[in-house]
Every structure is written in structure tokens, then in C-alpha cells.
Amino acid sequence: MKPFLRLASVLTIATSALLVAACDNKAPEQTETATASAEGAEAPAAGPFDVNSVALSTASLGDFPYLRLPEGYKPQNSEAHDFADFPFWTGARFEMIEGRVHQTQITNDTGKSFSRLELLRNMEHALKEAGAVRIFDGQIPSDAAHALPEAVQMASLNGIGDIYNGPSQTWVIRQADRTVWVHLYVGSAQGSMAVVEAKALAPTAGLLPASELARKIAADGRVAVPVEFALDKADILDASRPQIDAMAQMLKDEAGLRLSVEGHTDNTGAPARNRPLSEERARAVVAALTQQGIDAKRLEAKGFGADKPVADNASDEGRARNRRVELVRLP
């Protein structure tokens, strides 16, 4: 190789090495922090959502449900529950948030034309004023939306909107003493919104011991027992196993007692589903009792769906009383 060509090759290699070194040593790019600001910034949505990643808001929220509709728009088919749950899409999955729930459809006043953009921009402004962080904005995957259990779809009907065919938003307001989730859907002719102030249930029901079960059946011929099941299923939750044990002990103590185990639901959901579900749950209780040595011939299982309410289904308290399993003495 000629000398000047050899020198050129050496210079080329040296220059390339310097460029590589410079790239390796450049200052790191500025990136956004994992915690979104309280001014409506987007929060990361990869993986299960960590609500503690949302910056604290110090805005004065006022009274629940905290958000006022803009002028010219009004709520329609509103529901309020002291304790319920609602599905929120976090960008990776639905999370069922429990607590105080307000959900409503949104429509326009008479003489006012419905404007999707006007309603959307107004609600976004109100949410930012409250210090909310938007954690999702877009179209929920169709397979995820359609995979919601029917009972969840029915219970969230007024607040969830047409998420199957249009985009929606999920926002979180995190304050020192509360966390509020907001679902917002705005279509071309109607909107929907759900607000949930997350909180744990303060239990008011308790275990009925075997002696109390026997006393109530002797006095009234029947007793309602607090048995809890998985959502839209007949699987008895572990928390209710002590109650099943108490029922089995009563039947062992009262060897001549025969019972009809009767399942009941509230009026949420389709009647065509509620009746078979209530019977499936009654059968699950019978199966749990026979597994503890109770003769199946002493037990019957029936389901009545929402046909025999003992309280008004218009309130949370009434619906809770109507969702029950009853033990009824047989001749």
C-alpha cells in the first residue's frame, strides 16, 4: 500500500474511534419523571398501574362527586352508591375500584346542541383544575372491553359509555386523605362519566353462630345468612367459610332438621341470568354442607333470582339485603 493511502486509512480509523467515544460519553437525555405532574400530564401505563405514582393534588374538591357539568349539559340516568365498584382501564388492564360511586350519562339541555368537543374540553379543564392526572386516553382494546363480565357491564352501564366503539379517558386525583378515579366517555351525541372515591368496606354483617341460626329457624322458620360469592359466579368466597361451618354445625346439632337452601339476588343484571345464578349459588352451599358430612337428603336447593325482595332495590342498603341465602325449614 502507498504511504499516503496507509496514512489516510489510519486517520479514518482514528476519526471513527473518536466519534464512537463521543457518542458513548454524551450527556444523558432529559426524560420525564415517572410521577406525572398534577396538571393533567400523562402518566405511564405499562404494567399494573401504581396509584402512588400520581402526584398529590392540593386542590379544594368540594362535595362528592366533585365535578360539575358545563352549562348547557345535564346528567341523565344517574346512580349513586355508598359502596360499589367500577371498572377503570389503566392502559394495561381493567382494575375494579371499590368505594363511593357516582355514575351518569351526560346529555344536552333542550335547545342546546350537543358538541363532543365542547363537553370534552370542559370536563378536561375541570379535571385539571382538580389536580387530576390522566392515565389513559384512547380506545380500550375490543377484546378487553368485551371480556368484562356481564354483571359488571350491566352495573356500570350508565357510567361507562360506548367504550366498544369510541375512545375514553381515565383520570386519578390523589390527595393526602383520598384517591378519586374518574372515567370519562364522550361520544358524538351523548357522554358518560363515573367517579369513584376509593375506600374499603366498613363491614356491618357478621357471623351467625350455630346457636343463633337454630334459634331464628325455630322462631321464624327461616334465617338469612351472609354468604358471599365471587362476582357473577357461584364460588363461595373464603371469607364465608366460617359461616358455612356454622351452618354445618347447626345441622349436626339439630339432627332432625331439613332445610331448603334458597338463593336470592337484587334486580341488577338480566333476570334470565339472575335466576339460574341464584340456584347455582344455593347448590354451591348445599355442596359445601354435604362435604362436611351433612346428608344431602336433608337439603334442597332453590333459586328465585330477584323475584322475592325483602327490601327496596332503589338503595344500596336494600340491594345488599336482597342479595342473600336463606335457610328455610322443611316439614
- Count Cβ atoms below 10 Å from residue 317 Cβ, excluding itself: 13
Which residues on adjacent β-strands are paired with residue 75? 106
Summarised one tens digit per residue, pLDDT across range 166-190 is 999 999 999 999 999 999 999 999 9
Q: Mark which of 198, 219, 236 sits at the end of a domain.
A: 198
The 3-state DSSP class for residue 292 equals: coil
247 and 318 co-located in one domain:
yes
CATH of the domain at 324: 3.30.1330.60
pLDDT band at 47; cut points 50, 70, 90: low
Structurally, the chain folds into a number of domains equal to 2
Share of the chain above pLDDT 70, in %: 85
167 and 231 co-located in one domain:
no
Residue 176 lies in a domain: yes
Which range of residues forms the domain containing residue 68? Answer: 51-198
Residue 285 lies in a domain: yes
257 and 131 co-located in one domain:
no
Q: Mark which of 198, 225, 241 sits at the end of a domain.
A: 198
Summarised one tens digit per residue, pLDDT across range 209-260 is 999 999 999 999 999 998 988 888 899 999 899 999 999 999 999 999 999 9
166 and 78 co-located in one domain:
yes
Residue 223 lies in a domain: yes
User: Taken in order 108, 112, 114, 116, is the CA torsion positive or negative?
Assistant: negative
- Is the predicted pLDDT of residue 36 greater than 50, yes or no? no
The stretch 282-293 carries a mean pLDDT of: 97
Structure confidence at residue 24 (pLDDT): 42
Could you give the CA distance from residue 294 to residue 218 in angstroms, rounded to a whole number? 19
Q: Which candidate, 42, 58, 46, 151, places its Cα nearest to that of 91?
A: 46
Q: Mark which of 198, 225, 259 sits at the end of a domain.
A: 198
- Is the predicted pLDDT of residue 126 greater than 50, yes or no? yes
194 and 216 co-located in one domain:
no
Q: What does the block give as the cell for 16?
A: 471513527
249 and 172 co-located in one domain:
no
Residue 2 lies in a domain: no
90 and 129 co-located in one domain:
yes
Residue 253 lies in a domain: yes
Residue 203 lies in a domain: no
Could you give the CA distance from residue 36 to residue 197 in angstroms, rounded to a whole number? 20
Structure confidence at residue 230 (pLDDT): 87
Q: Which long-range contacts link 207-215 to residues 24+ away (Cβ below 8 Å)?
A: 207/242, 207/243, 207/246, 208/243, 208/246, 209/246, 210/246, 210/247, 210/249, 210/250, 210/253, 211/250, 213/246, 213/247, 213/250, 213/327, 214/250, 214/253, 214/254, 214/257
129 and 248 co-located in one domain:
no
- Is the predicted pLDDT of residue 117 greater than 50, yes or no? yes
189 and 221 co-located in one domain:
no
189 and 214 co-located in one domain:
no
Whether the CB-CB separation of 182 and 171 falls below 8 Å is answered with: yes
Could you give the CA distance from residue 100 to residue 64 in angstroms, rounded to a whole number? 9
Share of the chain above pLDDT 90, in %: 73
Q: Which candidate, 305, 131, 151, places its Cα nearest to that of 230?
A: 151
Residue 9 lies in a domain: no
Residue 68 lies in a domain: yes
184 and 223 co-located in one domain:
no
Q: Where are the beta strands (DSSP E) in the chain?
A: 73-89, 94-108, 133-138, 168-175, 178-186, 191-198, 222-225, 259-264, 299-303, 324-329
180 and 223 co-located in one domain:
no
